[in-house]
Structure formats: structure tokens, C-alpha cells
């Protein structure tokens, strides 16, 4: 209970910090919403009128406080650009991006963990060199490049999905999932390679520890030692890493959403930043903070189940 | 273990196949042709208020042109024809305008257009509503009185204004409707159905339209911000028409499936100079730059030869005002440029920056060519790419720049819109052009009593800009529209609009 | 037998990186063509013996541009990783070693920074240093990379905190700073090295994404990322453009990755 309270407090704190930092950033960067909205039609009079209308003339802290008060009471505000309630704008995109990130996360986990263990067994063979090279290669190719190649191959040549036409998630769920599947693969490739690499080195360093040597020298089967002890002990760092992966997937989704033409949260965020639509940016950023803390918390909770030492308020 | 992984991969593969199979086949051009629908790719989201009196983004106006109409509306050859009004007469040498309302024009919500709606729309733009709001169109403050009786609308101006009719293209909106910003209602050939941010805007034919009905039933504008996404959208069959494409993008498409129609963008692309700060406060330096920069060279290098070179702030579509002799006023002449620089006190050239909005590749490309051309005369130019919002704030708003590349347009059919900004009184004179002679000409032009005289003064102003080398004018960029074979009826306007009411599938 | 494979990674990695580094160095003095010189008659030429990577939409020699660009990219990536790794390790070490309130506070800030959009951060840095400044890319990216390094180091330090030899050192009266620097840091190399190579990889790619958004380096001077973003909308017109620049990016990251792999192996061998 105490733990839960602490976590919730941390969550709220992170969200407040990040929302404040974002607000501050908007105060400091050049270009304000009124200028962005009026574009080349701007005249000093029209700018003044619009700033007044949007309440941009109020002092910085007053604006932040009023935004925060609104947010706490469930009023996320109205998008300056689309003149639509922020939540109506974000909700459908959040859904899509969540699907994309979760699909990618499942793929990463499902592929990387077995692959890491499997590849360990190749240690010292020719395959190891090939695998290492391949793994490095997967990390080395930029995602938007993979994305373009994939849309070309699967979209235009094989016609498994239609780039530029993302199907509605509710009415054409199957098609939307196919579209998302390819994007998730593209998003997941470098991350999978990193996870494999990271897990492998943990397994290797674990295997060098005294207890493993002892176990093996006592005649235990290498494989059994690996799965029964080593894996369990290297799982905590893998889980931490996967938690971090989950947190960072949303950030990485921006480019992939753009290449695959998916109307998701990442694209909305980038766009809203460039148009200085700060009510939208604020909400997205708070959602991201929530996501990051949630991923970290989940990783910690699972780790505590796996490694009882951590329950005593240790490292994690 | 190997088997397990193999199994995982197999399951994933099967899942994909299953998903691909169970999802119904998506939209294809054939299906759209059958349903009399079309999908158009646009790079710019309609991220604006959809209220036509409030919206400012060119991209929004381009699309919503199909939803709204004014008392009069522009035609593709640059004239104005009656729309919501059936007849117009100009009296007292441009002091009084009398409109007769057309009978039975309907709004998209089914209501008939009444005099009160027209009065509301005009008063709202002119700032004459009782709520004390600012005029949405400052040019309409010339209205001194507005009267509606029966179907006759009489507008009296405080001084004669020959261009007034062009402003009467302002959209007629229902007086008692407050959802314009998100669910607009107008009288145009298409009605607004939906907008999904960063995804699509859907329009449908309005069956009670008073005029020639549109041929298509449904038009979907798909928003694809990424350049290569538009190309892939065309290739994959997701799109049927995309305008404002580059020749490089077009060269990637299948010539048997698409054809290209060429119009012009109707904008003045130029290297705009900050006339108030050294070195560009010196007319000799500005002229030297004009000689140093080879417009045709830019068009050939960065635009594969598509584009019309310009010599002043006016483009050919405004035929009445356009003076072609100014285009070659400064022929490409490196020796002359060097000589002028020497006279100006820069025998070894100088360093300068070109601020470019980075979201628009053609301007960035133009800047790269200019940098190379300026090297020949000893001027070292550096490109400073900035984000669009920063450009608006720092360059356009605060004039904190040395030189910049952009394209300026006019959203109505008046020369005034293009020329007013170089007058020192103008709030949007971001180049800080400062010429008493020009200001005097402008004052004379707007109060001119007859059309011929006004046109002559406007042409004089254009010449003045060229002679003083206010900016280095480059071109009116070509508007290359890629159209899927089978789609017909594309019309170009001298404005930045895309008329979808004339499009149809030729089956 | 085992030793041979170890040196293999390192050797291949060093050769690749060395060749690229050398080419980039030479490129600062000499390139086959002027990387920015345009030629209307030679637009979009497929690779030939004169232009081994072909030419771009301005008829510029892609090979020369790639050489110049790889220098810029390497400089940016190294500087970025340096900032991120030094500051991140510092933060991670302190928080991991001491724990408690400092740990909590810094980790909250760290979470906030992870959630904070990197584009917004980049814009912020640009507003402060001014646009058109090459260093803003480095600074912005460097800050973006702090949290990931901090997290990795923190976990490692926290894990070592109560290990016997550290406790002994503390009991012997060693200063905290000394313990962290001399006893703990070398032992975290195992996690830090891969983090650095991954970081280098990410920095190259992040620089590319920033160029993609138009807030990276200034044209016509190119970085590899900028070149790739320029190439990508010309993919079916000039596939060699994207393939050559993408290939060099991949090679660069690949070489760095192999070095990391090799170092790690060597470290294991010593241990």
C-alpha cells in the first residue's frame, strides 16, 4: 500500500514536472500560436486581437496555473488550431499509437528473448560471428529507411496494405492491424537487435560467475544451469531494458507513423509543436510521462516478483 | 529451441496472412470510379478554423473553396460572376454597389439564404456587428452603409473603390449558426462531411445546389505531410490526384497510369531582402544581386525548367496588371554585378545569410542554387533553415533577417493585395521597403476614379519595385498536378484553389 | 581459438571505422569534386567511374558529398555521445551510489526528460544558441541522450553498492568519489561500452531524424542524415542516392558496433 502510494506520488510528480517544462519551453522558443495561426496574413492589429482572444497576454505563471487547474478538473482545453476539444483530437490517435506500440513491444519480446538464449548456444562457432554481424546490421539501418523499403515491397509490390490509406480502426480492424503489423516490425527491428545484444552479454557475464562454474563443475547440465539459474538472474536487467524500450517506443513511432502514413499520436505531437498548438502538446506530453512512469513501474513490479532481493527496497 | 522460434515465426506469418485475408479489400481507384468518388492527396493539413471568415491558411482556403460562395465568385479566367447574388450593378463611379439576391439558394443545412444571412456575413467581416468585434477583413472598413430591402442589397462606400467587388467573394454564412469553425455550412457545390486531424477531410455533393451540379458524389482529401508519401499514395492506388508536385516526384510515377497537367501556382517566389539593414539598404548592392542571380538558371537547375521567370511582384495570371518587360530588366551579368558591388564599396563581396523555411523543399533547393550563383560574384551566402513558426515570428513578424526565400500570394483578384505590402504604412511590410515615391503612388492607386488609371498606376508601382531592386524576383512556380488516367475536368484558377466540382471519371 | 574470434570483431570494426575516419579526414582537404558544385547537364546520373555514387538532383557528385557528410556526422555523433555519456554517467553514478532523496529527485527529472519530446528540446536549444549554428544539434542531442546513460549507470552502480569489496573499501575509509571512480566505474564498463556503441548508433540516426525535420545541419553542407532525408523522396528516381548514403550510415554504425562487441569480448577475456 505504501509502495503504491509512493508510486502514484512519483507519477503525479513526473507529470507535473514535464508539463511545467513543456510550458516553459513554449515560453522560450520563438514563434507564438497567434503568429503561427495567422501566417502571412498577420498584421500587428490582428495579432494583438488574437493574442487577447487566446489569453496569451496573461503572465506565464497565470497561464500555467489556469492550464493546470483545467487539466486537474478534467478540462483539457481546446486545440488552438483545430478548434476542437483536445481529448476528441487525441483519443483516436492514442488508440492507434497504443496498438502500434503494443504490437511492436510484443514482437520485440517474443522474438528477442528466445533469440538471445538461442544465440548464446552458438558461442564460439562460425554462426556466432554471422549472428553478431547480422545483429549489428539490424541496429545500423535507420528505421525510416527500413520503413520506406517495407512500404515499397509490401505496400506497392505485394499490395498487402495500402500506403497512404490507413483503414479506420473500428470499422476495418483487420486491415488496420495488417497496416500496423508492418509498421510495428519496422519499429521493432533495431530494438529487437539491441535487446538480444543486451541480454546476451548479461547471460555471458552471468555464466562467468562463480556459482555457475560451481554448478557446472559439479556435473550439472549446462543447458539446465542456463535455463534454471542464469536466465532467472539475468532476467531483471532484461525486464528493466524492456521497460525502457516500452517507454521509448512512442518516441520512435513518430518517424514510422510518418513513413507508413499512420495518423498517430507521434505525428500529432510533432505537428502540434511546429504549429505551437500548446494545449495539444501539453496533454500529449503528460500522456507520454504517464506512459514512461507506468513502463518503469511495471518493470519494477515484475522485477520484484522475479528477484525477491529487490523487495527489500534495494536497487530498483 | 530452434523449433520454438520457427513456430513463433510461422504463427506470426499465418496471423498476417489471416489478417490480410479477413479484412475486406480496401478502396481501389476502380471502386472509387464506380462510386463516383475521388481521393486527393494534400500535403497541408486543414489545421485551421474552418470558418471561412476566420481561416487564413492557403491550404484551408484551397479546399474550402468548394464549400463556400460569396455574392459573386471567381471564374477560372480571372473574372467575377454572380453567385448568391443574381445580379450586380455599380453606381456613382464605384461608390454604390447594388446586388440582387438569387432566389432559392440553399445552405447545406437545408435553410434558404435570406437577406439577414447576407447582411450578417458582410457585417461580420466589416466589423459592423453589434458585439464590437474587430473587422475580419480590414479592407471592408470602406463600407459606410449597408441596406437590405426585399431582394435588393445596397452597399455604400465612404470613397469610390473599384476593387470592392473582389471582396464580395466573401462567404455567405447562415446568421444563426455557431459551429462554423468545426462543422462549416455554406452554399457551395459541395458540403462538408467530416475532418479528421492529420488524416482526411471529406466533402459530398450538395444536391440542392442552385447552379451547375458537381459531377462527383464524394471527395476525400487525404493528408500526407511527407513528400515521398504522396508518391507512394499515388503508386499504391490510395490517391487519384495530387497537386503542387515537383518534377522529381513526377518522374517516379508510371506514365501509363497518370497524366500531368501544368498550371501555375500564382505566387511571387523571390529572394526577399531586408531593405532596412546593411548591406541591402544600398540600392547598388540589391541591383548587383539581381544581376548576379540567374532566374532561368534556378528554374532549370532546381525545377527542371518548369516555372515562369518574374521581374516584379506580379504574376502573369493577373494579365491586366502584369508587365512582361520587367522580367529581363536585370539580365544575368556577372561582370555588371561585380562592378556594382565595387561601386557600393564591396569590391571583395560580403557575407550574407539566407533564412529559409525548412518545411518547403523547393525554397531550400532554390537557396542552394543561389548560394552557388553568388559565389561567382564573390558573395558568400549561408543558408539558415528555420522552422515555419519561427520564420513567421522572426522573419515575417520582426524582420530579423538579411534575406529570405518565400512565395507570396494573393487570395483575391486584386493587385492591391500583392503591392500594398511594400508601402511603409503596411503592417506586413516585412522587407521594410521604404520609398516615398512608392507610398505616393499607392495612395493615388487606391483612390483612382477609373479602372484604366488605376491599372496604369499599379503598373508604375511594379516598375518602381523593379528599378529599385526591392527584392530579387525569381519566378511564378509551376503547379504540376498529377491526375490518374480516367479523371478529367481539372480547371486552373488564377487563385490558390482546387475546384473539384468540375472533376469527373471518364468511364 | 576463442581469442581469435575476439580479435576478429575488433579488427574488422577497427578497419571499417578507420577507413571511414581516414576518408572523412582526407575529405576535409580533398574530395574528387567540389561537393556543392552543381551541374545541370549531369543531373541524376547513375553511378559511373567518374561519379562512383552517381549524382543528385543538382548534378552534384554524391561520393564527394558523402565523404564531407560523413565527417560532419561522425563529429556530431561523437560529441553527442561524449556529452550524453559523461553527464549521464555522472548522474547515474551519484544516484545509484547514494540512493535516497537525490536518487528520487534526479530519477523523476530523468523520467520527465524521457517523456519530453526531443524536437521541442531541439527547438529550445536553437532558440537559445540561434539558428544555423552547428553546435545546437550536438547540444540538443547530447541532452536527449543523458537519461539513457544515467539509467544504465544507475542500475550498475546500485548493483555494486553493497558488493563486498566496495563495502570493505568504504570501511577502510576510502572517499566516496574515489570508490566510485576507481573501484566502481571500471566494473561498469561492461554495461557502459555497449551503451556507448548503441548511443553512437542512435546519435547518427537521431541526427538524421533532426535533419529530416529540417532543424539539423544547414544545407548545402551535408551530414549523412541530411543526405538520406534528401534522397528518400527521390527513391524510385535515383535509388543509388538513398542506397549509397544509407549504406555508408549503416557501415559507420556497423563498424562502431563491432568495435563495441570486440571490446566487450576482450574485457570478458581479461575478467
Contact between B371 and C235 using a beta-carbon 8 Å cutoff: no
Other beta carbons less than 10 A from residue C193's beta carbon: 19
Out of A40, A176, A263, the one facing B198 most closely (by C-beta) is: A263
Q: Which three cell numbers stand for residue C65?
A: 558529398
Residue B73 β-bridge partners: B81
Contact between B372 and C236 using a beta-carbon 8 Å cutoff: no
Neighbours of chain C (3+ CB pairs under 8 A): A, B
Relative to beta strand B37-42, strand B241-245 is parallel
The pLDDT of residue A64 is 92
- Distances from the Cα of A256 to the Cαs of A291, B376, C150, C214, in angstroms? 19, 42, 27, 17
- Using the CB atoms, write b or e for C109-145: b if 16+ within 10 Å: bbbbbbbbbbbbbbbbbbbeeebbebebbbbbbbbbb
Q: How far is A171 from chain C (nearest CA, A)?
A: 32
The pLDDT of residue A170 is 83
Q: How far is A5 from chain B (nearest CA, A)?
A: 38
What's the rounded Cα separation, in Å, for the pair B319 and C89?
67
Q: Which three cell numbers stand for residue C86?
A: 559523461
φ and ψ at residue B363, rounded to 5 degrees? -70, -40
pLDDT tens, A229-269?
A: 777 777 887 888 888 888 888 777 877 888 888 889 888 88
What's the rounded Cα separation, in Å, for the pair C62 and C55?
5
Q: Which chain B residues are Cβ-neighbours of C220 within 8 angstroms?
A: 368, 371-372, 383
Peptide bond into B279 cis (omega under 30): yes
Q: What is the rounded average pLDDT of the residues C137-146?
A: 82
Residue A49 β-bridge partners: none
Cβ-contact A231, A144 below 8 angstroms: no
Complete DSSP assignment for B275-309: TTSTTTTSHHHHHHHHHH--HHHHHHHHHTT-SEE
pLDDT tens, C27-85?
A: 888 888 888 888 888 888 889 888 989 998 888 999 999 999 888 888 888 898 999 99
Complete DSSP assignment for C190-217: HHHHHHHHHHHHHHHHHHHHHHHTT-SS
- Distances from the Cα of C153 to the Cαs of A199, C78, C94, in angstroms? 16, 19, 9
Q: What is the pTM of this model?
A: 0.86
Q: Which three cell numbers stand for residue C18?
A: 578507420
Q: Which chain A residues are Cβ-neighbours of B27 within 8 angstroms?
A: 162, 165
Q: Which pLDDT band holds residue C159 (cuts at 50, 70, 90)?
A: confident
The DSSP 8-state label assigned to residue B99 in this structure reads: E
Helix or strand (DSSP H, E) at C114 = helix C100-115
Q: Which chain C residues are Cβ-neighbours of A296 within 8 angstroms?
A: 111
3-state secondary structure of B44: coil
Cβ-contact B43, B481 below 8 angstroms: no
The pLDDT of residue A234 is 78
The pLDDT of residue B281 is 93
Chain centroid to Cα C57, Å, comes to 29
What's the rounded Cα separation, in Å, for the pair B411 and B170?
11
Complete DSSP assignment for B60-96: HHHHHTTT---SEEE-TTS-EEESSEEEEEEETTTTE
pLDDT along chain B (507 residues), means of 10: 56 57 64 93 87 86 93 89 92 88 93 94 88 79 89 90 87 92 94 92 95 93 86 90 90 90 92 93 94 94 92 90 92 94 93 88 92 93 86 89 91 84 89 94 87 91 94 94 94 90 90
Contact between A201 and C235 using a beta-carbon 8 Å cutoff: no
Residue of C nearest to A236 (CA): C155
3-state secondary structure of B32: helix
The pLDDT of residue B183 is 93
- ∠ CA B239-B407-B425 to the nearest 5 degrees? 140
Cβ-contact B454, B290 below 8 angstroms: no
What is the residue-level pLDDT of chain A in tens, covering all 316 positions? Answer: 677 788 888 888 888 888 998 899 888 887 888 888 888 777 787 888 888 888 888 888 999 999 999 999 988 888 988 888 999 999 999 999 999 999 999 999 998 888 887 777 766 677 777 888 888 888 878 777 888 888 888 887 888 888 877 888 888 888 888 889 999 999 999 889 888 888 887 887 777 778 888 888 888 877 777 777 777 777 887 888 888 888 888 777 877 888 888 889 888 888 888 888 989 999 998 888 888 888 888 888 888 777 777 665 544 3
Complete DSSP assignment for B167-209: HTTSPP--TT---TTTS---SSSEEEEEEETTTEEEEEE-TT-
Chain centroid to Cα C6, Å, comes to 23
Contacts of B390 (CB under 8 A, 6+ apart): A29, A30, A31, C123, C126, C127, C131
Q: Which among B330, B317, B318, B338 is positioned nearest to B270, based on CA atoms?
A: B330
What's the rounded Cα separation, in Å, for the pair A270 and A266?
6
What's the rounded Cα separation, in Å, for the pair B476 and B409?
10
The pLDDT of residue B51 is 92
Q: Which among A51, A58, A54, A65 is positioned nearest to A20, based on CA atoms?
A: A65
Interface subset of B 377-416, CB within 8 angstroms of C: 382-387, 390
The pLDDT of residue B168 is 92
Q: Which three cell numbers stand for residue B324?
A: 512582361
What's the rounded Cα separation, in Å, for the pair A82 and A75?
16
What's the rounded Cα separation, in Å, for the pair B313 and B297?
20
- Distances from the Cα of B107 to the Cαs of A201, B147, B436, C76, C126, in angstroms? 69, 22, 48, 58, 48
Cβ-contact B45, B197 below 8 angstroms: yes
What's the rounded Cα separation, in Å, for the pair C107 and B306?
56
Helix or strand (DSSP H, E) at B88 = strand B85-91
Contact between C104 and A137 using a beta-carbon 8 Å cutoff: no
Other beta carbons less than 10 A from residue A263's beta carbon: 19
- ∠ CA B319-B306-C242 to the nearest 5 degrees? 150
What's the rounded Cα separation, in Å, for the pair B473 and B317?
16
Residue of A nearest to C270 (CA): A208
Torsion of CA A61, A34, B64, B51, to 10 degrees: 60
Contact between C155 and A21 using a beta-carbon 8 Å cutoff: no
Residue B353 β-bridge partners: B382
The pLDDT of residue B220 is 95
Helix or strand (DSSP H, E) at A180 = helix A173-207
- Distances from the Cα of A21 to the Cαs of B123, B261, C113, C141, in angstroms? 43, 49, 9, 17
Residue of A nearest to B1 (CA): A118
Q: Which chain B residues are Cβ-neighbours of C232 within 8 angstroms?
A: 228
The pLDDT of residue A87 is 92
The pLDDT of residue C3 is 46
Structural domains present in chain B: 32-46+188-264+479-505 (3.40.190.10), 72-167 (3.90.76.10), 268-476 (3.10.105.10)
Neighbours of chain A (3+ CB pairs under 8 A): B, C
The pLDDT of residue B1 is 47
Other beta carbons less than 10 A from residue B237's beta carbon: 24
What's the rounded Cα separation, in Å, for the pair B420 and B435?
13
ipTM of the complex: 0.84
Q: Which three cell numbers stand for residue A146?
A: 527500413
Torsion of CA B61, C212, C245, C131, to 10 degrees: 120
Structural domains present in chain A: 87-311 (1.10.3720.10)
Residue of B nearest to C211 (CA): B358
Contact between C123 and A136 using a beta-carbon 8 Å cutoff: no
What's the rounded Cα separation, in Å, for the pair B390 and B396?
9
Peptide bond into C220 cis (omega under 30): yes
Q: How far is C256 from chain B (nearest CA, A)?
A: 29
φ and ψ at residue B147, rounded to 5 degrees? -130, 135
Other beta carbons less than 10 A from residue B348's beta carbon: 8
Amino acid at each position: 500500500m505504501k509502495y503504491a502510494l509512493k508510486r502514484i506520488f512519483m507519477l503525479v510528480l513526473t507529470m507535473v514536472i514535464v508539463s511545467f517544462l513543456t510550458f516553459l519551453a513554449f515560453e522560450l522558443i520563438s514563434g507564438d500560436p497567434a503568429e503561427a495561426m495567422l501566417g502571412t496574413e498577420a498584421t500587428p492589429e490582428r495579432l494583438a486581437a488574437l493574442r487577447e482572444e487566446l489569453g496569451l497576454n496573461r503572465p506565464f505563471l497565470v497561464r500555467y496555473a489556469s492550464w493546470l487547474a483545467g487539466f486537474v478538473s478534467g478540462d483539457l482545453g481546446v486545440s488552438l488550431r483545430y478548434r476542437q476539444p483536445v481529448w476528441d483530437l487525441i483519443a483516436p490517435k492514442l488508440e492507434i499509437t497504443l496498438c502500434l506500440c503494443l504490437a511492436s513491444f510484443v514482437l520485440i519480446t517474443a522474438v528477442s528473448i528466445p533469440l538471445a538464449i538461442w544465440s548464446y548456444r552458438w558461442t564460439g562457432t562460425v554462426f556466432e560471428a554471422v549472428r553478431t554481424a547480422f545483429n549489428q546490421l539490424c541496429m545500423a539501418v535507420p528505421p525510416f529507411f527500413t520503413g520506406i523499403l517495407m512500404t515499397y515491397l509490401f505496400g506497392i509490390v505485394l499490395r498487402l496494405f495500402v500506403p497512404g490509406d490507413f483503414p479506420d480502426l473500428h470499422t476495418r480492424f483487420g486491415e488496420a492491424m495488417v497496416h500496423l503489423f508492418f509498421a510495428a516490425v519496422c519499429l521493432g527491428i533495431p530494438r529487437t537487435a539491441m535487446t538480444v545484444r543486451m541480454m546476451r552479454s548479461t547471460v555471458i557475464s552471468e555464466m562467468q560467475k562463480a556459482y555457475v562454474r560451481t554448478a557446472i563443475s559439479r556435473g550439472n547440465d549446462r543447458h539446465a544451469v542456463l535455463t534454471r539459474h542464469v536466465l532467472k538472474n539475468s532476467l531483471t536487467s532484461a525486464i528493466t531494458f524492456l521497460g525502457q524500450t516500452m517507454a521509448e517506443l512512442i518516441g520512435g513511432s513518430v518517424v514510422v507513423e510518418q513513413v507508413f502514413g499512420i495518423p498517430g499520436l507521434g505525428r500529432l505531437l510533432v505537428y502540434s509543436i511546429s504549429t505551437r498548438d500548446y494545449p495539444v502538446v501539453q496533454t500529449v506530453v503528460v500522456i507520454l510521462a504517464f506512459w514512461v512512469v507506468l513502463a518503469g513501474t511495471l518493470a519494477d513490479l515484475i522485477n520484484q516478483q522475479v528477484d525477491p532481493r529487490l523487495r527489500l527496497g534495494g536497487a530498483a | 529451441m530452434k523449433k520454438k522460434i520457427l513456430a513463433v515465426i510461422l504463427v506470426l506469418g499465418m496471423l498476417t496472412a489471416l489478417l490480410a485475408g479477413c479484412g475486406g479489400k480496401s478502396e481501389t481507384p476502380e471502386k472509387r470510379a464506380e462510386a463516383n468518388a475521388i481521393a486527393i492527396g494534400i500535403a497541408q493539413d486543414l489545421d485551421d478554423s474552418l470558418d471561412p471568415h476566420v481561416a487564413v491558411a492557403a491550404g484551408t482556403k484551397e479546399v474550402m473553396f468548394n464549400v463556400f460562395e460569396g455574392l459573386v465568385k471567381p471564374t477560372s479566367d480571372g473574372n467575377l460572376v454572380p453567385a448568391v447574388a443574381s445580379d450586380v450593378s455599380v453606381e456613382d463611379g464605384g461608390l454604390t454597389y447594388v446586388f440582387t439576391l438569387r432566389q432559392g439558394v440553399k445552405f447545406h443545412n437545408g435553410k434558404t439564404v435570406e437577406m439577414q444571412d447576407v447582411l450578417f456575413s458582410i457585417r461580420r467581416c466589416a466589423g459592423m456587428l453589434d458585439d464590437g468585434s474587430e473587422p475580419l477583413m480590414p479592407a471592408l472598413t470602406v463600407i459606410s452603409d449597408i441596406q437590405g430591402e426585399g431582394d435588393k442589397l445596397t452597399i455604400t462606400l465612404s470613397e469610390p473603390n473599384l476593387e470592392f467587388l473582389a471582396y464580395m467573394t466573401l462567404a455567405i454564412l447562415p446568421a444563426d449558426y455557431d459551429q462554423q469553425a468545426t462543422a462549416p455550412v455554406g452554399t457551395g457545390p459541395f458540403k462538408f462531411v467530416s475532418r479528421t486531424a492529420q488524416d482526411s477531410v471529406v466533402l459530398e455533393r450538395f444536391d440542392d445546389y442552385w447552379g451547375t451540379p458537381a459531377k462527383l458524389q464524394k471527395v476525400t482529401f487525404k493528408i500526407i505531410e511527407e513528400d515521398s508519401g504522396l508518391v507512394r499514395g499515388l503508386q499504391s492506388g490510395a490517391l487519384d490526384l495530387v497537386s503542387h508536385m515537383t518534377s522529381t516526384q513526377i518522374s517516379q510515377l508510371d506514365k501509363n497510369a497518370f497524366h500531368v497537367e501544368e498550371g501555375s501556382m500564382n505566387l511571387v517566389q523571390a529572394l526577399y531582402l531586408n531593405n532596412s539593414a546593411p548591406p541591402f539598404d544600398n540600392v547598388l548592392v540589391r541591383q548587383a544581386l539581381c544581376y548576379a542571380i540567374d532566374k532561368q538558371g534556378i528554374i532549370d537547375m532546381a525545377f527542371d525548367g518548369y516555372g515562369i521567370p518574374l521581374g516584379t511582384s506580379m504574376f502573369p495570371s493577373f494579365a491586366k496588371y502584369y508587365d512582361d518587360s520587367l522580367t529581363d530588366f536585370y539580365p544575368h551579368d556577372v561582370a555588371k554585378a561585380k562592378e556594382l558591388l565595387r561601386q557600393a564599396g564591396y569590391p571583395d563581396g560580403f557575407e550574407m545569410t539566407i533564412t529559409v523555411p525548412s518545411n518547403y523543399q523547393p525554397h531550400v533547393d532554390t537557396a542552394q542554387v543561389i548560394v552557388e550563383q553568388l559565389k561567382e560574384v564573390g558573395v558568400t551566402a549561408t543558408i539558415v533553415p528555420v522552422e515555419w513558426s519561427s520564420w513567421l515570428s522572426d522573419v515575417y513578424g520582426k524582420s530579423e533577417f538579411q534575406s529570405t526565400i518565400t512565395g507570396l500570394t494573393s487570395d483575391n483578384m486584386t493587385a492591391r493585395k500583392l503591392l500594398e505590402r511594400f508601402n511603409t504604412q503596411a503592417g506586413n511590410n516585412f522587407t521594410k521597403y521604404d520609398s516615398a515615391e512608392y507610398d505616393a503612388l499607392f495612395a493615388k492607386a487606391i483612390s483612382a476614379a477609373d479602372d484604366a488609371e488605376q491599372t496604369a498606376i499599379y503598373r508604375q508601382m511594379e516598375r518602381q519595385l523593379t528599378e529599385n531592386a526591392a527584392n530579387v524576383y525569381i519566378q511564378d512556380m509551376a503547379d504540376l498536378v498529377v491526375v490518374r488516367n480516367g479523371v478529367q475536368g481539372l480547371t486552373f484558377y488564377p487563385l490558390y484553389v482546387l475546384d473539384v466540382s468540375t472533376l469527373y471519371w471518364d468511364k | 581459438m576463442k581469442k581469435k574470434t575476439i580479435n576478429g570483431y575488433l579488427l574488422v570494426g577497427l578497419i571499417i571505422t578507420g577507413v571511414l575516419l581516414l576518408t572523412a579526414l582526407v575529405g576535409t582537404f580533398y574530395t574528387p569534386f567540389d561537393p556543392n558544385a552543381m551541374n545541370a547537364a549531369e543531373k541524376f546520373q547513375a553511378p559511373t567511374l567518374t561519379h562512383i555514387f552517381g549524382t543528385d538532383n543538382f548534378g552534384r557528385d554524391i561520393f564527394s558529398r558523402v565523404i564531407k557528410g560523413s565527417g560532419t556526422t561522425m563529429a556530431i555523433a561523437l560529441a553527442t555521445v561524449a556529452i550524453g555519456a559523461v553527464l549521464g554517467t555522472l548522474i547515474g553514478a551519484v544516484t545509484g551510489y547514494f540512493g535516497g532523496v537525490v536518487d528520487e529527485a534526479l530519477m523523476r527529472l530523468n523520467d520527465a526528460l524521457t517523456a519530453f519530446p526531443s524536437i521541442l528540446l531541439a527547438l529550445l536549444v536553437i532558440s537559445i544558441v540561434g539558428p544555423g549554428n552547428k553546435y545546437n544539434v550536438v547540444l540538443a542531442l547530447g541532452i536527449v541522450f543523458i537519461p539513457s546513460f544515467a539509467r544504465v549507470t544507475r542500475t550498475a552502480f546500485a548493483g555494486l553498492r553493497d558488493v563486498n569489496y566496495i563495502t570493505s573499501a568504504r570501511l577502510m575509509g576510502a572517499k566516496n568519489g574515489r570508490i566510485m571512480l576507481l573501484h566502481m566505474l571500471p566494473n561498469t564498463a561492461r554495461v557502459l561500452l555497449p551503451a556507448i556503441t548503441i548511443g553512437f548508433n542512435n546519435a547518427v540516426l537521431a541526427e538524421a531524424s533532426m535533419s529530416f525535420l529540417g532543424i539539423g545541419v544547414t544545407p548545402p553542407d551535408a551530414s549523412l542524415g541530411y543526405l538520406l532525408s534528401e534522397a528518400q523522396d527521390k527513391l524510385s528516381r535515383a535509388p543509388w542516392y538513398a542506397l549509397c548514403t544509407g549504406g555508408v550510415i549503416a557501415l559507420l554504425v556497423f563498424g562502431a558496433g563491432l568495435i563495441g562487441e570486440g571490446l566487450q569480448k576482450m574485457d570478458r577475456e581479461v575478467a
